[in-house]
């Protein structure tokens, strides 16, 4: 596997149309700050991706492509669609490689199917949330990651907090999302403080959410070492449609400082679409790279003591 020379900062882009994404007013401030892009690509949008690759190369913006399936097929990768998900990633690499337009890396997003996860977060869990065939699923993803790496495409993985941070593979087997088995170049834990608040319906307040970002970042770093990366958010609604966003860029700056204080080097923000909808974009980019890391608060130390 070739070394992963990724930037320390990046933005996920799930909702921004490609024609908007490649405009200089988007790419120029990213390039000026050395911030990379992680761009979602679906089977239906594959034809347009070469233009995105060319634009990012011309602008000197590090590009990570983020394979997705259609919503009816689960959207994200898991045991429910592992063969189809890996086949799409292979097709993506084959077609772009044939045109000498490989991106810098890929990101596998491993989560239960969209519909099942949406129902579970709404208080109606179903059996579709849970994985099956753990050993076979792990072999499929491991083979895909190895094949892509051999073709010159390192693969990182985005994982739910329970999956990325669990001390055993129990949660990975339960959700059908094998993070530890495949040789992923980086493991991105989704530590979205705004969702800690939103999905707990007030049980976790802002101070506790910030404390969790710090404590869980420390635990993530202790488990995955230099492969540990953290994704922060959210700036706006994502695929589930009911994600609670940050109140302001100040909350992002505090989260970023807390993660860095815990030893995390690579940070990403979810996502570009929300940042563009709440201008100026530059304010979000600058908040992702705080000039100092805040001292962990008393709640942060308390959470850390319980979890580490």
Q: Is 226 exposed, middle or buried (0-12, 13-18, 19+ CB in 10 A)?
A: exposed
Residue 119, pLDDT above cutoff 90: no
Question: In the CATH hierarchy, which fold is given to the domain comprising 9-307?
Answer: TIM Barrel (3.20.20)
Residue 302, pLDDT above cutoff 60: no
- Comparing 30 with 308, which gets the higher pLDDT? 30
Average pLDDT, the chain: 90
Residue of 238, 227, 228 lying closest to 270 (CA atoms) = 238
- Comparing 260 with 121, which gets the higher pLDDT? 260
CA gap 67, 239 in Å, rounded: 14
The reported pLDDT for the residue numbered 1 is 40
Residue 307, pLDDT above cutoff 50: no
The reported pLDDT for the residue numbered 141 is 98
Q: Is 141 left (phi over 0), alpha (psi -120 to 50) or beta?
A: alpha
Q: Which residues pair with 157 in a beta bridge?
A: 108, 187
Which pair of structure tokens corresponds to residue 129? Answer: 């949330």
pLDDT digits (tens, 9 = 90+) for 133-166: 999 999 999 999 999 999 999 999 999 998 988 8
pLDDT digits (tens, 9 = 90+) for 171-205: 999 999 999 999 999 999 999 999 999 888 888 99
How many CA atoms within 13 Å lie on the side-chain side of 201? Answer: 3
| Rg of the Cα atoms in the chain | 18
Which segments of the chain are extended strands (E)? 9-13, 35-41, 63-67, 105-110, 155-159, 187-190, 228-233, 266-270
pLDDT digits (tens, 9 = 90+) for 65-88: 999 999 999 999 999 999 999 999
Residue 308, pLDDT above cutoff 50: no
Contact 215, 252 (CB under 8 A): no
CA gap 233, 30 in Å, rounded: 18
Q: In the chain, what percentage of residues exceed pLDDT 90?
A: 77
DSSP state of 151: T
Residue 30, pLDDT above cutoff 90: yes
Q: Which residues pair with 10 in a beta bridge?
A: 36, 268
Name which of 13-27, 160-174, 222-236, 292-306 the model is least confident about.
292-306
CA gap 161, 110 in Å, rounded: 11
Q: Is 165 left (phi over 0), alpha (psi -120 to 50) or beta?
A: alpha
pTM for the whole structure? 0.90
Contact 176, 80 (CB under 8 A): yes
Q: Which residue has the tokens 């693969």?
A: 155
Residue 226, pLDDT above cutoff 70: yes
Name which of 93-97, 189-193, 220-224, 238-242 the model is least confident about.
238-242
Pairing, β 228-233 against β 105-110: unpaired
DSSP-based three-state secondary structure for 38: strand
The reported pLDDT for the residue numbered 296 is 52
Contact 281, 29 (CB under 8 A): yes
Residue 221, pLDDT above cutoff 70: yes
pLDDT band at 121 (very low <50, low <70, confident <90, very high): low
Q: Which residues pair with 228 in a beta bridge?
A: 187
pLDDT digits (tens, 9 = 90+) for 278-289: 999 999 999 998
């Amino acid at each position: 596997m070739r070394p992963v020379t990724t930037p320390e900062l990046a933005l996920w882009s799930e909702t921004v149309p490609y024609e908007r994404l490649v405009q200089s007013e988007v790419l120029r401030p990213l390039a000026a700050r050395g911030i990379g892009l992680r761009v979602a690509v679906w089977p239906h949008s594959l034809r347009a991706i070469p233009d995105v690759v060319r634009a990012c190369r011309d602008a000197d913006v590090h590009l990570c492509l983020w394979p997705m399936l259609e919503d009816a097929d689960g959207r994200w990768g898991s045991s429910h669609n592992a063969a189809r998900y890996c086949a799409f990633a292979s097709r993506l690499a084959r077609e772009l490689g044939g045109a000498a337009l490989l991106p810098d890396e890929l990101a596998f997003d491993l989560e239960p199917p969209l519909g099942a996860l949406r129902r579970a977060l709404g208080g109606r869990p179903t059996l579709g949330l849970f994985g099956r065939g753990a050993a076979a699923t792990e072999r499929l993803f491991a083979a895909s990651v190895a094949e892509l790496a051999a073709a010159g495409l390192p693969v990182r993985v985005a994982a739910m907090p329970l999956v990325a941070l669990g001390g055993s593979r129990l949660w990975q087997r339960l959700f059908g999302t094998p993070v530890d088995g495949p040789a992923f170049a980086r493991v991105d834990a989704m530590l979205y403080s705004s969702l800690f608040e939103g999905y707990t319906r007030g049980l976790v307040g802002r101070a506790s959410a910030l404390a969790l970002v710090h404590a869980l970042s420390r635990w993530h770093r202790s488990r995955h070492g230099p492969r540990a990366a953290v994704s922060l958010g959210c700036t706006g609604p994502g695929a589930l449609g009911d994600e609670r966003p940050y109140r302001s860029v100040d909350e992002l700056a505090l989260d970023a400082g807390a993660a860095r204080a815990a030893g995390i080097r690579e940070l990403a923000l979810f996502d570009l679409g929300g940042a563009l909808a709440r201008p100026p974009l530059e304010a979000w980019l600058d908040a992702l790279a705080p000039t100092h890391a805040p001292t962990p608060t008393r709640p942060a130390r308390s959470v850390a003591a319980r979890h580490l």
